[in-house]
Amino acid sequence: LRDNRIELVRASWHELSISVSDVSLSDEGQYTCSLFTMPVKTSKAFLTVLGVPEKPQITGFTSPVMEGERMQLTCKTSGSKPAADIRWFKNDKEVKDVKYLKEEDANRKTFTVSSTLDFLADRNDDGAVVSCRVDHESLNSTPQIAMQVLEIHYTPLVKIISSNSWPEEGQTIILTCESKGKPVPEPVLWTKDGGELPDPERMVVNGRVLSISFLNKTDNGTYRCEAKNPIGRNSTEYVLIVHDVFNTLLPTTVIPSLTTATVTTTVALTASTTTSATATSIRDPNALAGQTGPDHALIGGIVAVVVFVTLCSIILLGRYLARHKGTYLTNEAKGAEDAPDADTAIINAEGSQVNAEEKKEYFI
């Protein structure tokens, strides 16, 4: 070996050591150590030299990019042996759908590796950091990284925020127009029903804020907020409805109604006596309106009337039977059939009672 980069480190009867500085790809190959004895003894070893990839570069980015345009970013590194690996990240989140290309260098020992990231520009990507990372065994677990910050221009995004969800007459409402775009939108334009604000004294615009004081029904309508920048313009609308004050001050009270039920029962007696009874049931005013169910007071009243009428009927029937005992003849009348005078009739009657069967009287 005859090279200034090769240095003899140790030489003895037992060991011979060399060092190679500033290693290059040309140093790769088979090295032989010989011991000049009889016979000569040799030992061989193959040296592999790794090609360290160059620092990657990202190309294809032009600033700014309009929203909706297609972007193609290419990351390339050369001099790797074996071929290096390239990975893409967007805000530390790996992007998988990429193209990978590997080519041999002119020395036919190293490789040039490239990868392309293809996507549509979106407003959410504005300010995102796109990085290309090169991994290789020669980097000792310390990858080489190239980064690119995206700048996306897009039309304004407009939104109206109201300070009062239920505006009433006499109150004040504040409408805030939030607009976000790149470049930053110009001051917004407020209109009502397609025209200018009708009452500038009550409708005050301060930047992106519209304040309307002493609301009344004439303020009802559609309010539009419009924002624009060099890319384009956008707008949104808010429909204002002013409500009456008394609609919320007077609560609704439900007064339960009283319900009266009348039941009439008629009972015919032997003496053609008619009895009427009336039961009135008043519903509890604390009961909830709309509840239905059996009226126990009404049923109890009907039962009481029936019992009362039945008792009256029994009493009247008893008195009637007690007073009706039948027809009886006196002693004088009993012997008057064949007697010429009253004395004879009495004698005949007393004689006839001796042989006559004793009459019995039963009381029911």
Distance from C-alpha of 350 to C-alpha of 343, rounded to nearest angstrom = 11
Domain final residue, candidates 171, 206, 238: 238
Residue 337 included in any domain = no
Q: Assign 3-state DSSP to the chain and report helix, strand, coil percentages, each to 5.
A: 15, 40, 45
- How does DSSP assign 231-251, residue by residue? TEEEEEEEEE-PBPSHHHHS-
CATH number at residue 181: 2.60.40.10
- Mark whether 169 and 209 lie in a shared domain: yes
Kind and range of the H or E run holding 112: strand 111-120
Residue 309 included in any domain = no
Domain final residue, candidates 98, 119, 149: 149
- Mark whether 187 and 102 lie in a shared domain: no
- Mark whether 140 and 64 lie in a shared domain: yes
Residue 139 included in any domain = yes
Residue 234 included in any domain = yes
Residue 176 included in any domain = yes
- Mark whether 157 and 145 lie in a shared domain: no
* pLDDT number for residue 86: 95
* pLDDT number for residue 359: 54
Q: Are 329 and 298 in contact (CB under 8 A)?
A: no
Number of domains forming the structure of the chain: 3
Domain final residue, candidates 184, 209, 238: 238
User: What does the H/E/C string look like for 181-229?
Assistant: EECCCCCCEEEECCECCCCCCCEEEECCEEEECCCCHHHCEEEEEEEEE
Q: Which of 301, 320, 305 is nearest to 266 (CA)?
A: 305
- Mark whether 100 and 130 lie in a shared domain: yes
- Mark whether 79 and 144 lie in a shared domain: yes
- Mark whether 79 and 140 lie in a shared domain: yes
Residue 59 included in any domain = yes
* pLDDT number for residue 294: 60
* pLDDT number for residue 12: 85
> Which residues have a Cβ under 8 Å from the Cβ of 13 and sit 6 or more positions away?
none
Kind and range of the H or E run holding 149: strand 144-149
* pLDDT number for residue 35: 85
Widest CA span in the chain: 204
Q: Per residue of the chain (364 residues), give pLDDT as tens.
A: 888 899 999 988 888 899 999 998 989 999 999 888 889 889 999 999 999 999 999 999 988 899 999 999 999 999 999 999 999 999 989 999 899 999 999 888 999 999 999 999 999 999 999 999 999 999 988 899 999 999 999 999 999 999 999 999 999 999 999 999 999 998 899 999 999 999 999 999 999 999 999 999 999 999 999 999 999 999 999 999 999 986 544 444 444 444 333 433 333 323 333 333 333 333 444 444 444 456 778 888 898 999 999 999 899 888 777 765 555 455 555 555 555 666 665 666 555 554 444 555 656 5
* pLDDT number for residue 123: 93
User: Which domain, by its residues, includes 19?
Assistant: 4-45
- Mark whether 127 and 201 lie in a shared domain: no
- Running DSSP on this structure, what letter comes out for residue 26? G
Q: State the distance between the two ends of the chain, measured CA to CA, in whole angstroms.
A: 160
- Mark whether 117 and 183 lie in a shared domain: no
How do 232-240 and 221-229 pair as beta strands?
Answer: antiparallel
Q: Are 339 and 352 in contact (CB under 8 A)?
A: no
Residue with tokens 């040309």: 26
* pLDDT number for residue 186: 87
Residue 126 included in any domain = yes
- Mark whether 134 and 121 lie in a shared domain: yes
Dihedral angle computed from the Cα positions of residues 167, 169, 170 and 176, in that order, rounded to the nearest 10 degrees: 30
Residue 347 included in any domain = no
- Mark whether 102 and 136 lie in a shared domain: yes
- Mark whether 158 and 232 lie in a shared domain: yes
* pLDDT number for residue 63: 84
